């Protein structure tokens, strides 16, 4: 039990030491990049876009599919409604089915002079017309069998029963494997892949955009904490000065050298200093919570910032040419890819006017099958072919869609030109803000020196009794204002530097080196 307590205390000391170790801006940035959920969502969008791009590439490859079906029918199929009788004839010398007689047929001469044959395939009697054997109909009139085949009186008939033409089709099984290989789609697949690749680049640009936004927010939160920490220290120093003056005034009042009104005037300033200090400390707590939330730390945890001393930095951002600025900005990358998508979409609309050609093939099996009559077993065959689809007329639908895609391409181009103008203006504004901040910082630095000199003379004059407490309070207030303005100016220089980097598109590249 004792060892367990020692281990817990040791771990607590380790965590406490880690929480109190100095943390710089780069560390906070790294923590934020690892913790931020929105950035993780943006990276997942990149993975999704890459997967969709790979899916689009598969459109170049054949598409294989397997199908199967079972169908149950209530009734069988029959090709005949009743039994049928087919006449039995002979083949003539040309191989045609006819009413001729065989070579062994024995003619019989009737009283009326007509002939009949005992082994003939028909019951018709024959007569001689112009030396040719011509059949007679039921009225004894000669006729041409090719013109009037219905007058032939066949002697023999073959029966074709209805049951022989019935097929058991109540249970049908169908299965097969097929493929479709695009040969020419008018450029649709090519443009589809181009759009998918542009979507990947857009997703990557959005990651860069999110990184820049996150880094800027971390910088603002970091320097806000540094600013409030310095103002809290300044508020404590100012409160100490006023408290010292208050004690001196009370001592002078006891000696009768100042009035009660003079003492109350200093006490009011002391109360104001306490209220200001409380506000600053509360603001410091909230600012630390905001920074911890960005870095993924517990809200109540306090970290020591290495830049709490707020040293001046002359490391100004590099002046980047506008060609590089436009190439670096994620917004421009997104608009550039949006223009590519619009151009690809226009080409896709043009492809709708072109034919589509594909190679098809597969294997199909059925049970029952009709390959060898009607068989109750599974059998199939291979099939191959080429399909073509040519658009003919769609009431102008494709033409209107093409006009719309052309307008989208023009819109994308105009949006890019407008974005270039706004980015150029933004860069110029941030450059002027950095220059203005540096000048303001130098002026406030001089104001501090003058305010400190004025405060020193005021304290000496008050101690010697040549100036009043009011003058000393004014000197202290001027010193407080000068120090506060210097803190604001220094923080403004650092933030304006970050704003300039973001407007030039170089802030996200700092994340790559972390």
Q: What is the pLDDT of residues 33-78, one digit of tens each?
A: 999 999 999 999 999 999 999 999 999 999 999 999 999 988 887 7
Q: Is the pTM of this model over 0.75?
A: yes
**pLDDT above 70: residue 103:** no
Q: How many whole angstroms separate alpha carbon 24 and alpha carbon 217? A: 15
**What is the mean predicted confidence (pLDDT) over 450-459?**
92
pLDDT given for residue 197 in this prediction: 96
**pLDDT above 60: residue 444:** yes
Q: How many whole angstroms separate alpha carbon 293 and alpha carbon 303? A: 13
Q: CB of 100 within 8 A of CB of 218?
A: no
SS3 state of residue 394? coil
**pLDDT above 60: residue 417:** yes
**pLDDT above 60: residue 13:** no
pLDDT given for residue 8 in this prediction: 40
| Percent of the chain with pLDDT strictly greater than 90 | 56
Which domains are seen in the chain, by residue range? 21-61+186-354+393-512 (1.20.1600.10), 84-160 (no CATH)
pLDDT band at 12 (very low <50, low <70, confident <90, very high): very low
Q: How many whole angstroms separate alpha carbon 181 and alpha carbon 176? A: 17
pLDDT band at 357 (very low <50, low <70, confident <90, very high): very high
pLDDT given for residue 21 in this prediction: 67
More confident of the two residues 150 and 418: 418
Q: CB of 412 within 8 A of CB of 338?
A: yes
pLDDT tens figures, 298-321: 998 988 998 888 877 666 778 888
pLDDT given for residue 101 in this prediction: 55
- Listed range (44-58, 243-257, 425-439) with the worst mean pLDDT: 243-257
pLDDT given for residue 4 in this prediction: 41
Mean pLDDT taken over the chain? 86
SS3 state of residue 159? strand
- Listed range (5-9, 203-207, 370-374) with the worst mean pLDDT: 5-9
pLDDT band at 9 (very low <50, low <70, confident <90, very high): very low
Q: CB of 223 within 8 A of CB of 287?
A: no
pLDDT given for residue 334 in this prediction: 95
> Structure tokens of 111?
């009283």
């Amino acid at each position: 039990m004792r060892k367990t307590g020692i281990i817990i205390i040791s771990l607590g000391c380790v965590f406490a030491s880690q929480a109190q170790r100095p943390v710089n801006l780069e560390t906070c940035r790294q923590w934020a990049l690892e913790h931020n959920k929105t950035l993780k969502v943006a990276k997942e969008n990149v993975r999704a876009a890459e997967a969709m791009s790979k899916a689009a590439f598969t459109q170049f490859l054949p598409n294989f599919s397997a199908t199967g079906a079972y169908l149950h029918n209530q009734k069988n199929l029959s090709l005949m409604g009743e039994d049928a009788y087919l006449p039995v004839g002979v083949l003539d010398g040309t191989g045609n089915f006819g009413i001729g007689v065989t070579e062994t047929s024995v003619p019989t001469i009737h009283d009326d002079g007509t002939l009949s044959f005992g082994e003939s395939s028909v019951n018709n009697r024959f007569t001689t017309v112009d030396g040719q054997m011509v059949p007679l109909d039921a009225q004894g009139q000669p006729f041409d069998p090719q013109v009037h085949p219905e007058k032939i009186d066949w002697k023999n008939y073959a029966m074709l029963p209805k049951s022989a033409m019935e097929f058991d089709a109540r249970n049908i099984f169908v299965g097969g494997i097929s493929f479709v290989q695009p040969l020419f789609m008018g450029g649709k697949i090519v443009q589809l892949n181009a759009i998918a690749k542009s979507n990947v680049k857009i997703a990557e640009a959005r990651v860069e955009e999110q990184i820049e936004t996150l880094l800027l927010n971390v910088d603002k939160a970091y320097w806000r904490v540094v600013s409030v920490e310095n103002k809290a220290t300044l508020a404590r120093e100012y409160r100490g000065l006023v408290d010292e003056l208050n004690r001196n005034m009370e001592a002078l009042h006891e000696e009768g050298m100042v009035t009660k009104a003079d003492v109350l005037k200093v006490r009011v300033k002391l109360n104001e200093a306490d209220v200001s200090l409380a506000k600053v400390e509360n603001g410091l707590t909230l600012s630390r919570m905001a920074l911890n939330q960005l870095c993924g730390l517990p809200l109540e945890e306090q970290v020591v910032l290495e830049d709490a001393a707020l040293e001046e930095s002359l490391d100004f951002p590099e002046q980047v040419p506008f060609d590089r600025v436009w190439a670096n900005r994620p917004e421009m990358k997104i608009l550039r890819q949006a223009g590519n998508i619009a151009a690809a979409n226009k080409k896709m609309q043009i492809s709708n006017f072109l034919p589509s050609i594909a190679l098809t093939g597969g294997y199909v099996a059925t049970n029952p099958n009709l390959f060898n009559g009607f068989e109750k077993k599974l059998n199939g065959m291979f099939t191959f072919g080429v399909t073509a689809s040519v658009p003919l007329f769609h009431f102008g639908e494709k033409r209107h869609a093409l006009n719309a895609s052309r307008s989208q391409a023009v819109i994308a181009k105009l949006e890019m030109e407008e974005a270039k103008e706004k980015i150029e203006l933004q860069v110029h504004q941030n450059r002027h803000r950095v220059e203005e901040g540096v000048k303001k910082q130098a002026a406030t630095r001089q104001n501090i020196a003058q305010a400190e000199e004025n405060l020193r003379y005021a304290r000496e004059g008050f101690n010697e009794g040549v100036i009043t407490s009011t003058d000393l309070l004014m000197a202290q207030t001027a010193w407080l204002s000068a120090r506060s303005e210097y803190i604001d100016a220094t923080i403004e220089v650092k933030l304006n530097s970050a704003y300039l980097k973001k407007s030039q598109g170089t802030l996200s590249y700092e994340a790559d080196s972390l």
